[in-house]
Structures are given as C-alpha cells and as structure tokens.
Structure 1
Amino acid sequence: MKRILITGATGNIGTELVHYLCELDNGSEIIVAVRNVERAKEKFPNLSGLSFRLFDFEEQNSFDTAFKDIDILFLLRPPHISEVDKYFQPLLKSAKNNGIEKVVFLSVQGAEKSKVIPHNRIERLIKSIGFKYIFVRPSYFMQNLTTTLLPELQKNQTITLPSGQAKFNWIDLKNIGEVSAVLIKSFEKHKNKAYEITGTENKNFQEVSEILSETIGSKFNFKSINPISFYFKKRKDGIENGFAIVMTILHFLPRFQKEPEISDNFNKLTGKKPTTLKEFINREKDRITTPQAVY
C-alpha cells in the first residue's frame, strides 16, 4: 500500500486534494500532515480512512517523524514562507534521508522562467537532491478573490493591485486539487514532468471587476497602484514581509511579461472542462458579499 503524505492538508488546495484522493479510492493510505491533529480531524469529519501526523514547516524537529515510511510527498509552499534555504532545504533533506523518493510539488505557472520567486528555487532544489518529481504549475487562483483580496472587496467593492492591465489566467482550486489527485494516483506515468494547469480565460483585473459587477449585480472597481505603494499598503494591513514581497512580485511582474499561455492539461488529465470565472463567482457569491463569510 502506498503512503501519501499531504502537507497543507487543511488549507484550500490541500482540503480539495484530500477529498479527491479519497474519491479516487486507489487503495493508498492518505496521511495529512498538520500542526493540530484534533482540529484537522474536525476538518474532515466524514473521511474516516485518513491518518494524521504532526508536522510544522517551521519546526524542523517535526520532519523526521512525519516523513517516516512515506512513499509520495505532496508539497506546497505556505504563503508566508519565502526563505527556501532556511525552510525547504532541511525539509527536503529530511524527506530524502527518511526514504521518500517521490515528490509532487505545487508550484506556479512560469516558475521555470522566473528565478525571483521561491517556487523556482524549490523546483531546482527538488531536482538537485535527486527526487522523482511532478511539478504542478497552476495559473492565478480564482480563490484569491475569496481570500487575500476579499477584505477590500467586502469593505468597498474594490480590488487594489500593482498589476495595471496585465492579464492573468484564472484557475479554480477545486480543479487544481482534482488534477493533483490524478497525478499522484498515476505518479509513475507522469514522473519527472511539469504540468501547467490553467483555466480557459485570460483576464486583467479591470475585466474581472466587470464580471463581478455583472454577476453579483452591484458595482465593483479596480485600482492600479505602483508596486512600492502596494507593498507598504500590505504591510500596513498586517501582511508579513515575505508574503507582501511575493504578492507584489506576482502582481507586478506580469506587466512586463507575455500574456499567459492557456493549456489543455486539465482536460487531458481529468476529461473535464475547468471552471469559468462566472461559474466561480456565482458559486462564491455569498462569500464575496457577506462580511461574516471571511475565513
């Protein structure tokens, strides 16, 4: 029986991945790696077959126990952690020392081209240590509208970013969770490959604000500001330094890059069509418009 360890299991993508892996029923043992086991059990009340292990990205003494007897590691980067040498180098070395040979890493579209983002360095580190790997490279998350961008959307129906008219490709985390489960299940077929996972729409934030307005039925606006002002705005909002820098880079650099390429990998791997922005906004309408829905 394969043992699959899921980091970030109680987060947005991890939760989707755990559910899709359980649905596939591939005879593997699915183990969630979490800081709080009791809280994690509450997160998955109807998935009785799960196992739980203590794990914390910021506590190296949790690595060896979590990685014992694991066949496949699903790895993601928590948004607030950007220091690859400090956190991911010891993590991956511990994984290797404990016999893990296969890593599925949730990266980001274009990671191979941009050495300034942490995902690029993590990908190179995984290769240099000698893991068999699959890199999942999704485009821009639709769920940013219901997480990092949500407070401002709810407060004054505005999105403020340093992105100008740059276009982003939009993908639903449910789609990422599903395709990641498929890749994990068929690891040997896809090993040592990278897959860009995109939606079907390239839209800038002005266009997204118009879709929000049309779908929800009230006016939403987009405001573009310079990256320095954006960085200090995020710091004033209480965002940690590393995350504020990553947010600034991810929303500013696309102004100087080509429009994202649209991939059909999701359809090829799952046989389904990815979620559209309008479908996503309709699904999450209450969360976007109701302050109590912040999470």
Structure 2
Amino acid sequence: MNNKILITGATGSLGSMLINLLKEKIEITNLAVLVRDEKNELAKQYAYEGIEVLIGDYANLESLERAFKDIDTLYFVSGGDDNERAKLHKNVVDSAKKNGIKHILYTSAVWKDESDSSPLANLVDSHLQTENCIKTSGITYTILKHNLYAEVIEMMIGDKSQLLKTKNIYLPTANGLTSFVPKKDLAEVEVNILLNPSSYSNKTLEFNGSEQISFSEIAKKISEIIKEPIQYISPTENEFKEQMTKFGLPSHIIEILKTFSTAIANREFDQQSNDLERVLGRKTTSLSEFLQRISNVNSKMLLKDYA
C-alpha cells in the first residue's frame, strides 16, 4: 500500500538531509515537500527531481489544508518562534486531523526542568503544548525529542577564524555536559522510522548523541585539531552579556547564546537515553570527527535551527 509522505522544513538543513536520503529509498511519487516560497532554490531543485512541491505556511490554515490533502504521513519540523510556536503548531495538527493524515512524526526537544524558572521555559512550554495537542488529536504519532544539534557548537563558539583570533571559548556553560547530535545522524535515523512508521506508533523517542561533553573538553579537542591553544572561560551570565555587548553582538543573539549556555550549565541537555543508537543501529558520529570536519571550513556562525 502506498504511503504518501510530506516533509515540512524542506528547505532547512535537517529537512533537506532527510529528503536526500529518503528519495533514494522510496518511489518519488510517494514523497512531497512543504515550502513557503516556491522560488526558493531548493524548492526548484525538488521540483526538477520530480518531487511534489506544496506551498504552505504554519500561520496560514488554508494553505495547510490544501497541502495536506492525500497525505498519509507528516514529518512535522517544529517552528523556530518560541512565543508563537504552540499556536502555529495547533494549525498544523488541526489541518492534519481535518485531512485525515494517519501518522505525525514531530521534532520536539529534550529537557529536564519543566518549571517556569527554567531558562528553557518558553521552549519547553511550546513543545509540551504541541505534544499534548498531537496526542489528544487521535492521530497516530511518534514524538522525536532532539538533543542539541552538534552544529550548534559552531554557532556558540564561532568559526575557525574567530577562534584563531580570540584563542578562547567564552561561554557561561560552567561544567555542564551536552549529548550533542549531528543532524546527519538524526536524518538517517528518522528516515529509518519513516520507512517503518507502524513500529513506532504512539511512542516518544529521545535522541541523544553517544557522548556527553563539556565546552572545556571541546576546547581541548579543538586545540588538538587546529594545533593552537584554545582556552575555555566560563563567565557569569552578567559578565557574558556585558562582554558580548562590548563586542557589538546583537542583543537577540546574546540572549540566545546566554539562554542555551545557562541551560547547558544546568545540565538540561545531559541526557543519556540510547533510543537513537538503538534505532540507528550504531553509535552517533564521534564529536572529534565532527569537530575535525567543521574546523576545516571557515563558515559564518549559524543562528537558525538552534533547537
């Protein structure tokens, strides 16, 4: 029986990785992508490859209802706006239910502290609301709780040229550990689930990297890779904010960095579930290998897809 799969977030880095893997494993007629702008270069490429490109926006119910027709399985990438996320996500779930979508796979996040005092309070609340909305919709679901992407490391420390200039990693993460996961590993494991969704019906999976690491250890690994001493400094939150302001970093970027650094210090991301290894059938890419890869690329800091 045909299973028409719709991938949201199709022009983002995780969505595009997943599509590249999936299109080699299923009939192209069973794959569709959701984009906001049909003129986007990736959207044009998908159309050229014969993938059905559907136009939709989480903020536009009518566009979602048009796009979700004849879809069986929805790979639902969470939106990036913490304040509006729950509202926009309800649009997605309501439209999915109205169109008879049979299975939703939702990309959520991991956390430990669900209190209002958590640095991740907005993130946690919006994801919790979405998870509950999906569970009460009656649609079969799989909740995919992602730890921080390994790609966030570069966003937090800067690229190779910045490190060579400053010779330090300056973040208020204290001795907190994080189970970072490369997006490539997440794309691979979630393709496995999309190919056999019934085995993961109404389950919540926690996807963590195989290693727990601190930024002090990251500094040591990078020092070995680039053969330059990189010092790790953990300031207070106020010191961090003052220094970043002096360096001219925009306030919203400082807030993102401070929020996730504090959460790391509080061990929000020190999770050790082996769901990812179990479904993937192997350990995740080693962080030494990942850091070696990004150290060879002088890319700009990435400030999207941070959670």
Measured against the shorter chain, the TM-score band is: 0.7 to 0.9
1:4–1:244 Cα change, 3 Å: farther
Matched, 1:149 2:150: no
2:218 corresponds to: 208
2:230 corresponds to: 220
Within a 5 Å distance, the mapping from 1:105-184 to structure 2 comes to 105-110=106-111, 114=114, 116=121, 117=124, 118-146=126-154, 148-149=155-156, 151=158, 154-155=161-162, 156=166, 158-184=168-194
Matched-pair contact (CA < 8 Å) for 1:166–1:254:
yes
Matched-pair contact (CA < 8 Å) for 2:7–2:15:
yes
Structure 2: runs of 5+ lacking an equivalent: 116-120
For residues 60 and 159 of structure 1, the distance between their equivalents in structure 2, rounded to whole angstroms, comes to 44
State the AA in 2 paired with 1:6.
I
2:118 corresponds to: none
For residues 124 and 157 of structure 1, the distance between their equivalents in structure 2, rounded to whole angstroms, comes to 45
For residues 241 and 97 of structure 2, the distance between their equivalents in structure 1, rounded to whole angstroms, comes to 36
1:83 corresponds to: 84
1:185 corresponds to: 195
Structure 1: runs of 5+ lacking an equivalent: none
Matched-pair contact (CA < 8 Å) for 1:141–1:171:
yes
The normalised TM-score by structure 2 is 0.80
Deviations 1:234-259 (A, max 9, x none): 8x73465xx87665444323433477
Residue range with higher mean Cα deviation, 27-36 or 247-256: 247-256
1:64–1:167 Cα change, 3 Å: same
State the AA in 1 paired with 2:35.
V
Within a 5 Å distance, the mapping from 1:190-201 to structure 2 comes to 190-201=200-211
Identity level (%): 23
Matched-pair contact (CA < 8 Å) for 1:132–1:192:
yes
For residues 240 and 62 of structure 2, the distance between their equivalents in structure 1, rounded to whole angstroms, comes to 36
For residues 166 and 7 of structure 1, the distance between their equivalents in structure 2, rounded to whole angstroms, comes to 32
Within a 5 Å distance, the mapping from 1:38-57 to structure 2 comes to 38-41=39-42, 44=45, 48-57=49-58
For residues 69 and 231 of structure 1, the distance between their equivalents in structure 2, rounded to whole angstroms, comes to 49
For residues 259 and 37 of structure 1, the distance between their equivalents in structure 2, rounded to whole angstroms, comes to 36
Task: Report how far residue 77 of structure 1 moved.
Answer: 1.8
Matched-pair contact (CA < 8 Å) for 1:162–1:227:
yes
Instruction: Count residues with an aligned counterpart.
Output: 288
For residues 62 and 236 of structure 2, the distance between their equivalents in structure 1, rounded to whole angstroms, comes to 41
**Which residue of the other structure, out of 257, 265, 285, is the alignment partner of 2:275?**
265
Q: Secondary structure at the match of 1:38?
A: coil
Q: Secondary structure at the match of 1:105?
A: strand
State the AA in 1 paired with 2:276.
F
State the AA in 2 paired with 1:149.
M
State the AA in 2 paired with 1:54.
I
State the AA in 2 paired with 1:219.
P
1:168–1:107 Cα change, 3 Å: same
**Which residue of the other structure, out of 278, 289, 292, is the alignment partner of 2:288?**
278
The normalised TM-score by structure 1 is 0.83
Task: Report how far residue 168 of structure 1 moved.
Answer: 0.6
State the AA in 2 paired with 1:214.
E
State the AA in 1 paired with 2:296.
D
State the AA in 2 paired with 1:237.
L
* Superposition CA RMSD, Å: 3.1
1:237 corresponds to: 249
Q: Secondary structure at the match of 1:96?
A: helix
2:100 corresponds to: 99
Q: Secondary structure at the match of 2:10?
A: coil
For residues 23 and 272 of structure 1, the distance between their equivalents in structure 2, rounded to whole angstroms, comes to 21
For residues 205 and 55 of structure 1, the distance between their equivalents in structure 2, rounded to whole angstroms, comes to 39
For residues 157 and 285 of structure 1, the distance between their equivalents in structure 2, rounded to whole angstroms, comes to 14
Within a 5 Å distance, the mapping from 1:242-253 to structure 2 comes to 248-253=258-263
